[in-house]
Amino acid sequence: MVPRNSGLTPITGAVDYGGPRKDFFRLTLIEINQKNFDNGLRDLLADDYLFVGRLFALSILQNGPLPAFLEPEIVQQLFDNETVTSSSCIKNIQIGMDALGLYTICKLLPSLVFLFQSKKPALTLRSLIHLLQPRFIVEGSNTSTFEKSVYSAFLRYLRKVSSGNRHPVTLERVLLFATSTTEEPVLGFKNHPYIEFYEVDTSFLPTANTCVCALRLPRPS
């Protein structure tokens, strides 16, 4: 049902193309890592690991961040048939993941266990430039000249970020600002990230629309 207000345009729901969900899972996994894994498994919080397992499954099945912070010993206890564990934390993670069928899938397809082991290399300047594709206006106009000038300045900025001259800004933070994630998802982005340009109004600060993975750079008029 669409909510209506007398005489006003009907209100429609927003469309989530993955940005808000990725940000939610990213922040949640950071908290889970700090609370439940940083100092080893917490037996006193064993019941919490049911929720942890469900969050792992939800994030992976919705192409969100991977829980690649797990120690190899924990991953082995989770999926190795020959490893017998008495840890209630491990057992609850398994039960939590299987609430969405992920644990069973990983047991049937052992190659999927890499999702819990894959620590991706650091984001490079080249890969970030490839991810953030500029959308220029038609060639031959003043606007096109302005857009290319702004893009060139943006590339110079990224090179300084890559070399550490804009600390604490990193390439991962630039991607995070535009897409709500610090790395490219395993299955890629549903909407490929891009850069669009807009005529400056009152501020030269860039903005972003993480729902569609768009970085918006102001250009002069």
Q: Where are the domains of the chain?
A: 19-116, 125-219
The three-state DSSP-derived secondary structure of the chain is CCCCCCCCCCCCCCCCCCHHHHHHHHHHHHHHHHHHHECECCHHHCCHHHHHHHHHHHHHHCCCCCCCCCCHHHHHHHHCCCCCCCCHHHHHHHHHHHCCCHHHHHHHCHHHHHHHCCCCCCCCHHHHHHHCEECCCCCCCHHHHHHHHHHHHHHHHHHHHHCCCCCCCCHHHHHHHHHCCCCCCCCCCCCCCEEEEEECCCCCCCEEECCCCEEEEEECC
Report how far Cα 213 is from the mean position of its chain's Cα atoms: 11
- Provide the angle, in degrees to the nearest 10, between the axes of the packed helices 48-61 and 19-32: 150
Q: pLDDT tens digit string along 157-190?
A: 999 999 999 999 999 999 999 998 898 888 888 8
Average pLDDT, the chain: 87
Task: Provide mean pLDDT across the span 36-58.
Answer: 94
Q: pLDDT tens digit string along 68-118?
A: 899 989 999 999 877 667 789 999 999 999 999 999 999 999 888 888 876
Q: 194 with 135: CB under 8 angstroms?
A: yes
Task: Provide mean pLDDT across the span 117-138.
Answer: 88
Taking the C-alpha atoms of residue 121 and residue 133, their distance in angstroms, rounded to an integer, is 21
Percent residues over pLDDT 90 in the chain? 57
Q: Is the pLDDT of residue 3 over 50?
A: no
Beta bridge partners of 197: 217
The pLDDT-based confidence of 16 (bands split at 50, 70, 90) is low
Q: Which CATH number applies to 125-219?
A: 3.30.2410.10
CA distance to 29, 52, 55, per residue, from 42 (Å): 16, 12, 17
pLDDT number for residue 216:
95
pLDDT number for residue 149:
94
Between 152 and 40, where is the model more confident? 152
Q: Is the pLDDT of residue 5 over 60?
A: no
Q: Is the pLDDT of residue 27 over 50?
A: yes
Between 22 and 100, where is the model more confident? 100
Task: Provide mean pLDDT across the span 109-132.
Answer: 87
Regarding beta strands 133-134 and 194-199, do their DSSP bridges make them parallel or antiparallel, or are they unpaired? Answer: parallel
- Token couple for 65: 């961040």
Q: Is the pLDDT of residue 2 over 50?
A: no
